[in-house]
């Protein structure tokens, strides 16, 4: 994939990355996670679920601000998302201030932009390729990258992302910059949020003779669009040369008309073949190029009213502009090299009504409101933001369904402000969220919308776990050196036959070993050895973030130990091993809490409520144990907590 290789080269130019922001009309999340994300991280292509989880851990550790933006209606939330990278759905019609630019609810978020920022500089990319396997590997596309070395270029990209971030309810973190290495650049970043329309910027107020355009899509009334283009932008002498992608190499995605035939007859419109023959493995030519005698435009602009942002002023013709972006480059090179052989235009080169209907873009019906759902992995809490933007009064029959929350949530709206009114929702046990990254909006029993969750504090996301308690204890034990047998934790021992010893004395309970309970595959030595090693690791921690990782997120973390211990105790019931297991686990929880108290709190992110939940209910000792035996067990543990530093 040439674009992926070019992308990798730009990453090298930037050095250690700080930000990677990607925009697209539609997305293939599996393509992004399988190819784009590993390229950003310098990792191998993942093949298994755990490979993707490992990628997420590397992304967390890197500190890279990685974000994806696309049209909310084409987010493809039914795809198999395997990481927690944030994907934001942009709603073009939800901002009143954009209506003056011709952007409304019928507009598409169609810009394909890449912004990279690293220790060595910034790179901006724009072109025709969506974030899909087709866009980066199967279509003929055009994409261009430039180093951001001028204030004007930085300000234009900042203005673009400020509107995009605001649309999804986020604050754009781009800093105010006042000085750059260069003062001028032959490249201008043009986008739909600027007051001057794309075509006006491309034409530059000059009277032009020729315009060459590569485009796969056209308006149904192509002749009418060309007429409006010439009239609205004062280009009476303009002749248009089109390099058009043809469906299956046969016909254009527009219709024949008498007016179109007259344009061909008068040489005001010329159809040309692609000067570069398509590789047989390519699906289509999706490139968008606009060339005049003075400029070359590379971006997302199709040769349509909406795609070219041709709606100007206060036109009330029902038309709209899409959200587009790209580069306008000063270029005096001739136009002809961009054009292939002239085609003999006739009605057979154009689509029938049926063919046009088959090629038409099907836009899902939008919701009458915007909604964003965030899950904070630190607090294990859902947070909600939403705004009713339809002209009608808010309706109360919509519900929201979330992973790891069984009951549907009714969506309630404030009467005046029309803002979504739902309290934050804490989740006790997280399971489904590890593989299901979507929320679903229903109206009655009908599914209306599927959106992607925005996951924050993903460093606390515990996606990797051990199969059972024994595997966890084995890993804890092998993590360090074995302690000496004189350690207080080893006052409880077993005979060769498995009989429990306490300082060399056997228990004389009436039910003998049956009352003790079978420790299963986990020996007492393994239990105490694992606890010893875990306590030693906790004592070495000097940063609150590291402590939170060991307690809440890493495989085999303390929270996982608490859960697995509680499950085992519940399954096996009250016995001596269960009692010791609870003592060991609770002792580690107390130790972690003590260490938390002495560490600086400025970087902590896990709420106190999750810390307080770290305990295992202590089971009763077996009924057959005599009082002397119970007393000696409890005395043995009085020194253990002192050794761990919990007193």
For the segment 265-275, what is each residue's pLDDT rounded down to a tens digit? 999 999 999 99
Mean pLDDT value of segment 528-552: 90
Q: Which domain holds residue 493?
A: 469-644
**Residue 562 scores a pLDDT above 70:** yes
**Residue 558 scores a pLDDT above 60:** yes
Distance of CA 447 to the CA centre of its chain: 22
**Residue 495 scores a pLDDT above 60:** no
Number of other CB atoms surrounding residue 185 within 10 Å: 18
Tokens of 36: 């784009």
End position of a domain, from candidates 460, 493, 510 = 460
254 and 279, same structural domain?
Answer: yes
End position of a domain, from candidates 460, 478, 507 = 460
36 and 82, same structural domain?
Answer: yes
Higher pLDDT, 18 or 645: 18
Q: Is 364 a domain residue?
A: no
Mean pLDDT value of segment 62-79: 92
Q: Is 293 a domain residue?
A: yes
**Residue 130 scores a pLDDT above 50:** yes
Number of other CB atoms surrounding residue 261 within 10 Å: 15
Mean pLDDT value of segment 410-428: 92
Q: Is 143 a domain residue?
A: yes
109 and 34, same structural domain?
Answer: yes
Q: Is 592 a domain residue?
A: yes
End position of a domain, from candidates 299, 328, 359 = 359
Q: Provide the pLDDT confidence category of residue 637 given band limits of 50, 70 and 90.
A: low
Q: Is 390 a domain residue?
A: yes
> What pLDDT sits at residue 235?
95
350 and 377, same structural domain?
Answer: no
Q: What is each CA distance from 457 to 16, 111, 173, 378, 638, in whole angstroms?
A: 21, 28, 17, 6, 38
Pick from 82, 138, 141, 80: which is nearest to 114 by CA? 141
> What pLDDT sits at residue 315?
54
177 and 159, same structural domain?
Answer: yes
455 and 320, same structural domain?
Answer: no
What is the sign, positive or negative, of the torsion defined by CA atoms of 22, 27, 33, 34? Answer: negative
Tokens of 107: 């507009």
CA atoms of 170 and 487, how far apart (whole Å): 54
Lowest mean pLDDT among 111-120, 430-439, 500-509: 500-509
**For the chain, how many structural domains are there in total?**
3
455 and 475, same structural domain?
Answer: no
CA atoms of 202 and 294, how far apart (whole Å): 9
Flag whether the pTM goes above 0.75.
yes
DSSP string, 335-398: SGGG--PBP---GGGB--HHHHHHHS--PPPPPSEEEEEEEETTTTEEEEEEEE-SSSPPPS-E
């Amino acid at each position: 994939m040439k674009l992926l290789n070019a992308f990798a080269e730009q990453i090298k130019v930037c050095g250690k990355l700080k930000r990677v922001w990607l925009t697209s009309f539609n997305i293939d999340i599996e393509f992004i996670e399988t190819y784009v994300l590993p390229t950003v991280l310098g990792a191998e292509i993942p093949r298994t679920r755990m490979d993707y989880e490992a990628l997420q851990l590397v992304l967390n550790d890197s500190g890279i601000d990685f974000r994806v933006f696309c049209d909310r209606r084409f987010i493809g939330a039914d795809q198999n998302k395997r990481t927690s990278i944030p994907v934001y759905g942009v709603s073009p019609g939800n901002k009143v201030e954009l209506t003056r630019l011709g952007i409304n609810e019928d507009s598409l978020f169609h810009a394909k932009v890449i912004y990279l920022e690293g220790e060595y500089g910034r790179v901006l990319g724009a072109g025709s390729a969506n974030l899909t396997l087709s866009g980066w590997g199967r279509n003929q596309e055009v994409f261009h990258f430039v180093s951001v070395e001028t204030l004007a270029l930085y300000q234009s990209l900042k203005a673009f992302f400020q509107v995009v971030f605001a649309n999804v309810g986020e604050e754009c973190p781009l800093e105010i910059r006042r000085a750059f290495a260069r003062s001028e650049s032959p490249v201008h970043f043009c986008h739909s949020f600027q007051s001057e329309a794309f075509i006006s910027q491309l034409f530059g107020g000059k009277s032009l003779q020729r315009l060459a355009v590569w485009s796969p899509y056209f308006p149904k009334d192509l002749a009418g669009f060309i007429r409006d283009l010439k009239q609205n932008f004062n280009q009476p002498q303009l002749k248009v040369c089109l390099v058009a992608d043809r469906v299956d190499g046969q016909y254009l995605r527009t219709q024949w008309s008498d007016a179109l035939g007259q344009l061909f007859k008068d040489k005001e419109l010329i159809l040309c073949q692609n000067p570069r023959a398509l590789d047989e493995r390519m699906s289509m030519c999706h490139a968008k190029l606009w060339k005049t005698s003075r400029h070359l435009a590379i971006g997302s602009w199709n040769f349509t009213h909406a795609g070219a942002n041709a709606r100007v002023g206060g036109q009330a013709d029902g038309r709209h502009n899409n959200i587009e972006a790209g580069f306008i480059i000063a270029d005096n090179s001739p136009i002809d090299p961009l054009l292939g052989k002239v085609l003999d235009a006739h009605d057979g080169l154009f689509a029938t009504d049926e063919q046009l209907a088959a090629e038409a873009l099907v836009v899902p019906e939008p919701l009458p409101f915007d909604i964003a759902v965030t899950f904070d992995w630190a607090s294990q809490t859902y947070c909600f933001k939403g705004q009713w933007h339809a002209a009608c009064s808010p309706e109360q029959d919509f519900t929201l369904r979330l992973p790891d929350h069984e009951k549907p949530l009714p969506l309630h709206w404030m009467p005046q402000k029309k803002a979504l009114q739902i309290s934050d929702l804490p989740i006790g046990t997280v399971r489904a969220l590890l593989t299901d990254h979507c929320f679903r909006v229903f109206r009655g029993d009908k599914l209306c919308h599927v959106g992607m969750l925005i996951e924050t504090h993903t460093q606390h996301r515990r996606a990797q776990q051990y199969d059972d308690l024994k595997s966890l204890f084995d890993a804890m034990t092998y993590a360090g050196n074995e302690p000496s047998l004189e350690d207080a934790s080893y006052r409880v021992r077993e005979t060769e036959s498995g009989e429990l010893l306490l300082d060399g004395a056997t228990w004389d309970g009436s039910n003998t070993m049956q009352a003790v309970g079978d420790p299963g595959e986990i020996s007492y030595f393994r239990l105490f050895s694992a606890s010893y090693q875990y306590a030693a690791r906790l004592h070495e921690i000097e940063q609150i973030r590291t402590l939170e990782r060991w307690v809440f997120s890493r495989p085999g973390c303390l929270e996982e130990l608490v859960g697995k211990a509680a499950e085992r105790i519940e399954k096996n019931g009250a016995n001596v091993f269960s009692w010791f297991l609870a003592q060991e686990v609770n002792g580690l929880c107390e130790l972690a809490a003590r260490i938390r108290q002495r560490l600086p709190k400025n970087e902590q992110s896990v709420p106190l409520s999750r810390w307080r939940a770290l305990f295992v209910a202590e089971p009763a000792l077996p009924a057959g144990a005599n009082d002397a035996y119970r007393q000696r067990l409890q005395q043995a543990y009085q020194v253990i907590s002192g050794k761990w530093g919990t007193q």
